[in-house]
């Protein structure tokens, strides 16, 4: 009985860990994209000026 409870707890922990990790990954991706866009904008400005 207690074994199953522990198993469920472990599963929940793993799920939470994965969610946290995916959230971090998404943030990294978004940061990369916005940095790239900012760089392109700056380049465009330099080309015009």
The backbone torsions φ and ψ at residue 37, rounded to the nearest 5 degrees and listed phi first, read -60, -45
Of the pLDDT bands very low, low, confident and very high (cuts 50, 70, 90), residue 5 is: very high
CA distance 23 to 29: 10
Residue 48 has pLDDT above 80, yes or no: no
Question: What does the DSSP assignment read for 1-49?
Answer: -HHHHHHHHHHHHHHHHHHHHHHHHHHHHHHHHHHHHHHHHHHHHHHH-
Residue 41 has pLDDT above 90, yes or no: no
Global confidence as pTM: 0.49
Q: In the chain, what are the domain boundaries?
A: 1-49
Q: What angle do CA 9, 13, 19 make, to 5 degrees?
A: 145
């Amino acid at each position: 009985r207690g074994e199953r409870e522990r198993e469920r707890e472990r599963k929940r922990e793993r799920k939470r860990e994965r969610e946290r990790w995916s959230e971090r990954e998404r943030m990294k991706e978004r940061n990369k994209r916005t940095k790239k866009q900012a760089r392109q904008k700056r380049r465009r400005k330099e080309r015009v000026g």
